[in-house]
Amino acid sequence: MAWRKGLVNGMLLVGSTALALLAAEWAYRRMLFSTQPAFAKLRDANLYADSFNEADHWKLYTLFGGEYGPPEDPHPLLGWRGAFKAKSLLHDDARSVGAKRPVLLYGDSYAQCMPEVRCFQDLLNSDTLFNRGHHLLNYGVGGYGVDQITLLFEQTFLRYDRPFVVFSLMVSDMDRSPLDWRTGQKPWFALDGDGLRLQGVPIDPDPDHYLATHPVTIGSYLWRRFLYSPANVLPAWANDRLKGWSAHTAHKQELNTRILDRAIERLKASRVDYVVLVFHYLTPDQEEWMVGREDNWRDRLLRERLAHHQVPYIWSKDLILADPAWTGSNLDLYMLLDNGHPTTYFNTLIAAEIRRHVLAAAGHKDPRRPLFAPPTYVDLMERTAQAIRQDSAWLASVRTNAERDGQALEDRIVEEAWYVVREDLDVTGEAIRAYTRP
């Protein structure tokens, strides 16, 4: 019968089409994950996923041999780290604070700075108005999201005596918050009722094992290649549905609102002086990322939350607009155009604004520490030094080393005490146990 013949033909057509697509996908994957130079142009994560929304993009970036690989020694809480010790989280320059007031700068690579520019610790710690009574410790770490910045801040700021906190973020750090992988595995917060629940800790010490057990979730690379190519002429609403733009943005807004609220509420409850510093990625190539533009969800969300909490803050775009040297087109004075990070000149403007906030709070002194505050690093060092003095065997060992090196005994005791705090205090382990407690 004709209808049976048509049905058979239809089934054959569908089957042969499906087989052809499967064969094409198989062949494409063979090329994509081969090491043949002829297929190198295919190995670009931007061809298959959105770097602002998908961990798949960053996992592919790693699998394709991206410039920035996973850390050799992943940090169990934060994923990777900057100029501080892995266990204690004590800053490498902490002993330089001495009797001065510590100024703690948290953030990403915009706080950490590019190697070719003068950074905030250099600019401020050599400034005679600032360094008379203050010393800046830069806790900025390249690649951090708002979640990692907040975790590091929470675990360290009250371990310093009477700190001034500069809590910084670059606006697209908010895009990193939902990800479980960027240039390596990272912790991330899940929405949990009205709060947050930390996920992904402890970090897997073997990045390859993590990628094997948490693989890329792309079903078809051919389909994704079309979706992210100029050949995609689908209407905006269809791309929104297929790429999940609106859904991703809504989730990032809710997630970052909760993370930022948590950080600000912690600052207020701790009775410390602070300022929030907002960096902006700026480029002349895209209107959304220009100085005079704020019609985007990131700027709107940050302005709204900072106003809601009545938070003192520094807005990098405002500093440029207020600078007499700004002509409207000389962005290269402020940003390294090849990577979008601040220049020495712009860092100098920002540092001056940080100094203004810090010096304005120089007369504030609230001796009360919150009940939830842990002992400071200095407290622990002094307790350890006292323990050395009271332990005859330990003291004898320290005396022997001091005499060998021609060092005063008391100086060697303090040095030994700082070493014990720096290397043995396990702030990281305590945090992981607290976050993973049932």
**Rg (alpha carbons) of the chain, rounded to whole number:** 26
H or E element in which residue 109 lies: helix 109-112
pLDDT digits (tens, 9 = 90+) for 150-205: 999 999 999 999 999 999 999 999 999 999 999 999 999 999 999 999 999 999 99
CA distances in angstroms from 270 to 39, 164, 224, 367, listed in the order given: 55, 11, 48, 12
Strand partners, 101: 134
Maximum CA extent, the chain: 106
Rounded CA-CA distance 56/180 in Å is 10
Torsion angle, alpha carbons of 61, 62, 67, 68, to 10: 120
Topology (CATH) of 94-360: Rossmann fold (3.40.50)
pLDDT digits (tens, 9 = 90+) for 41-94: 999 999 999 999 999 999 999 999 999 999 999 999 999 999 999 999 999 999
Rounded CA-CA distance 13/1 in Å is 18
Rounded CA-CA distance 107/153 in Å is 9
Per-domain residue ranges of the chain:
1-37, 94-360, 377-436
H or E element in which residue 150 lies: helix 146-156
Rounded CA-CA distance 355/130 in Å is 6
H-state helical runs in 229-360: 236-243, 245-269, 297-308, 316-322, 344-360
Neighbours of 150 (CB within 10 A): 22
Query: Is pLDDT at 233 greater than 60 in this prediction?
Result: yes
Residue of 26 and 317 predicted with greater confidence: 317
DSSP structural state of residue 410: H
Query: Is pLDDT at 421 greater than 90 in this prediction?
Result: yes
pLDDT digits (tens, 9 = 90+) for 4-33: 666 555 665 566 666 776 788 788 888 888
pTM for the predicted model, two decimal places: 0.94
Q: Mean pLDDT over residues 290-306, rounded? A: 93
Amino acid 13: pLDDT? 57
